[in-house]
Amino acid sequence: MEKLSQEQIDKALKILKMPADSKLVTHLNACVHCGLCADSCMYYKSMKEDKFIPARKVELVASLYRRYCTLTGKIAPKLVNARDLDEKMAEEMVDILFGACTLCGRCVKHCSIGVDIAYVVRIGRQMLAAMGLVPATLQATVDAALTTGNNMAIPTEEFVDTIKWMEEELIDEMQDENARIPLDEKDKNILYTLNPREPKFFPLSISAMAKVFYAAKESWTLSSTMYDVTNYGLFNCNDEEAGIIARHLHDEVKILNAKMLVLGECGHGSRANRWEGPNYLGMKYDFDMITVAELINDYIRSGRIKLDKTIIKERVTMHDPCHLVRNGGLLNELRFAVKSAVNDFVEMNPHGNDNFCCGGGGGQLAMSEYNDRRIKIGEIKAEQIRKTGATIVVTPCHNCVDQLMQLNHHYKLNVKIKSIGEIIADALVIEK
Amino acid sequence: MAQIEFDGDGFLVNPGIWNVDIAVEIAKEDGIQNLTEQHWSVIHVIRNNYLEKGMAPMIRVICKETNLKLREIYELFPLGPARGACRIAGLPKPDGCV
């Protein structure tokens, strides 16, 4: 690593010294290094190296805090194990805070005093982002969203062609010339959003949701330009960039005058838009925003769609995306949707709030630099899936879907991975 | 393949050095022992799109130009169009959740 300039160091330290943020100081001082968090972490469980223990991750940031923000640390740093922010430290922080944490937050639930370890890791990442030290592959994904409006830099024309193609398929399948996938239509009830990997490579999940909207007779639209539900600004931890990306969807709701923003199946995107968005933009949103699983549940409860549980014969399990369940509280909502569509449902152990991450969260899927670790920690998830005996794994997050696809191949699980929209569409009874 | 450089995800660091032999070797790593005519038709569409536009094609373009159905492409490349087909076609890893 090149020598850090004073300007870089100053920018990073400014984040540590944020005067308004007493949360950081509290959590940095609260960790007593008891080590209970160790076995909660997939990295430590898989590789048994001390540097992966969550408390060690907190300590990286805490040691800098002591060095630059406390009197003893400033005068006699060695006495309090305070460390300088130099190249060696920065390299270690990149390797551990970016390269060995999925921000899944499982350690937070296992901490005896509730230290928000994932939050502290995010502060460390913020410092690295301020110094321009975000891993190149992760930053490229953020840059694509900033410059093109979607994280895969899909040109609008190609996106529109794909949607038209899916619409033709829908018309064929429904045998109804009026079946639609509306684009850029104003004054609709719902603006629906996608993960760009759907139009780019996996459009069947788009047609599945179009089929659900068709059955529910929903008034909805997609935007031809601002449809990306992801926000990798949550992972590179550059809040300014995250804010610019969050504004894309906020403004598109206004432009199209939609009543409600429905978040496509994306764990971190749901968090970044629904729970972090107002913080990024420093304002309250004046429209409703829900995840597509909650919307589907409304359809089921109100009888707007009908499902036949006997269509899907296979055993089904579900993977809880960390940001939707542990960090988002949608545990029961996700189960209601899946259990409404299938008969033979089995849980993983553990699941729900204690579930293990797929291993691809926190931007790991985008960061080629740490691919080996990602596949290694994913073995925990693979074995969880294998033990259920299920042949279908449902998960409402396209990032999880991609990681599970790789685990499926690597660990020879021989399962199918589906989104909630896809499993609902499979069980759907279309009444004419 | 010791002299060829791959990134952490196994994608070619220098897509310019790609050739048929490299494709065959990468495919074997993915458990595809024989690249059929259908495999090659997908690989060539992806490769040509990359050389022309600097990025992987949309799956729609792959289907249209090869006359294969979506599900057929997923079956041909179990790791999917990105980590499967694009890697074999010697592209850099696409950004995003793939």
Confidence class for position A19, pLDDT limits 50, 70, 90: low
- CATH code, domain with A83: 1.10.1060.10
What pLDDT, on the 0 to 100 scale, is given for residue A432? 73
Confidence class for position B1, pLDDT limits 50, 70, 90: low
Spatial distance between the Cα atoms of A18 and A155, rounded to a whole number of angstroms? 39
- Is B30 in Cβ contact with A203 (below 8 Å)? no
Total tally of structural domains belonging to chain A: 3
What is the rounded average pLDDT of the residues A403-414?
Answer: 97
Residues A175 and A288 in one domain: yes
* CA-closest candidate to residue A128, choices A80, A96, A82, A83: A96
What is the rounded average pLDDT of the residues B69-96?
Answer: 95
Which A-chain residues 136-165 have CB contacts (< 8 A) with chain B?
137, 140-141, 144, 151-154, 158, 161-162, 165
Dump pLDDT digits (tens) for A323-379: 999 999 999 999 999 999 999 999 999 999 999 999 999 999 999 999 999 999 999
Confidence class for position A417, pLDDT limits 50, 70, 90: very high
CB A404 within 8 A of CB A322: no
Q: Which of A251, A279, A300 is the last residue of a domain?
A: A300
Confidence class for position A1, pLDDT limits 50, 70, 90: confident
| Contact status of A199 with chain B (Cβ, < 8 Å) | yes
Between helix A54-69 and helix A6-16 the angle, nearest 10°, is: 110
Residues A156 and A295 in one domain: yes
Share of chain A above pLDDT 90, in %: 98
Spatial distance between the Cα atoms of A293 and A332, rounded to a whole number of angstroms? 11
CB A404 within 8 A of CB A380: no
Which tokens in the block code for residue A306? 């009908």
Dump pLDDT digits (tens) for A191-216: 999 999 999 999 999 999 999 999 99
**The residue to which tokens 């691809």 are assigned:** A360
Fold of B15-88: Arc Repressor Mutant, subunit A (1.10.10)
Q: Helix count (H) and strand count (E) of chain B?
A: 6, 0
**Averaged pLDDT of chain A:** 97
Q: Which residues contact A246 (CB under 8 A, 6 or more apart)?
A: A231, A233, A272, A273, A276, A277, A280, A281
Dump pLDDT digits (tens) for B24-60: 999 999 999 999 999 999 999 999 999 999 999 999 9
Chain A contact set for B65 (CB, 8 A): none
| Predicted confidence (pLDDT) at residue B97 exceeds the cutoff of 90 | no
For A325-418, strand residue ranges (E) read 392-394, 416-418
Residues A374 and A290 in one domain: no
DSSP 3-state of A318: strand
- CATH code, domain with A310: 3.40.50
What pLDDT, on the 0 to 100 scale, is given for residue A411? 98
Spatial distance between the Cα atoms of B98 and B96, rounded to a whole number of angstroms? 6
Is residue A1 domain-resident? no
| Predicted confidence (pLDDT) at residue A21 exceeds the cutoff of 90 | no
| Contact status of B5 with chain A (Cβ, < 8 Å) | no
What pLDDT, on the 0 to 100 scale, is given for residue A80? 95
Q: Which residues contact A71 (CB under 8 A, 6 or more apart)?
A: none
Spatial distance between the Cα atoms of A385 and A336, rounded to a whole number of angstroms? 20
- Is A230 in Cβ contact with B95 (below 8 Å)? no
A288-291, strands of its sheet edge to edge: A220-221, A190-192, A260-263, A288-291
Min Cα distance A210 → chain B (Å) is 17
Query: Considering only alpha carbons, which residue of chain B is nearest residue A268?
Result: B97
Which class for A228: exposed (0-12), middle (13-18), buried (19 or more C-beta within 10 A)? buried
What pLDDT, on the 0 to 100 scale, is given for residue A229? 98
Spatial distance between the Cα atoms of A146 and A260, rounded to a whole number of angstroms? 24
Q: Is B97 one of the annotated active-site residues of the chain?
A: yes
Residues A152 and A295 in one domain: yes
Between helix A117-130 and helix A22-30 the angle, nearest 10°, is: 120
| Predicted confidence (pLDDT) at residue A236 exceeds the cutoff of 80 | yes
* A80 DSSP assignment: G
Q: How far apart are the first and last CA of chain B?
A: 25
Q: Which residues contact B50 (CB under 8 A, 6 or more apart)?
A: B15, B56, B57, B89, B90, B91
Q: Which of A243, A278, A300 is the last residue of a domain?
A: A300
Q: Which of A99, A133, A167 is the last residue of a domain?
A: A133
- Domain ranges, ordered by start, for chain B: 15-88
- Is A140 in Cβ contact with B56 (below 8 Å)? no
Which tokens in the block code for residue A163? 């949607």
* CA-closest candidate to residue A232, choices A123, A131, A331, A367: A367
| Contact status of B8 with chain A (Cβ, < 8 Å) | yes
Spatial distance between the Cα atoms of A27 and A29, rounded to a whole number of angstroms? 5
Angle at A42 between CA A394 and CA A415, to 5 degrees: 25
Q: How many other CB atoms are there within 10 angstroms of residue B53's CB atom?
A: 12
Domain that includes residue A371, residue range: 305-429
What pLDDT, on the 0 to 100 scale, is given for residue B2? 53
Q: Are strands A220-221 and A260-263 parallel, antiparallel or unpaired?
A: unpaired
Q: pTM here?
A: 0.96
- Is B8 in Cβ contact with A365 (below 8 Å)? no
Dump pLDDT digits (tens) for A272-307: 999 999 999 999 999 999 999 999 999 999 999 999
Position A272: which residue type? A
- Is A196 in Cβ contact with B81 (below 8 Å)? no
Share of chain A above pLDDT 70, in %: 100
Dump pLDDT digits (tens) for A63-104: 999 999 999 999 999 999 999 999 999 999 999 999 999 999
Is residue A154 domain-resident? yes
Residues A158 and A277 in one domain: yes
Residues A265 and A144 in one domain: yes
C-alpha distances out from residue B84 to A25, A34, A163, Å: 46, 43, 23
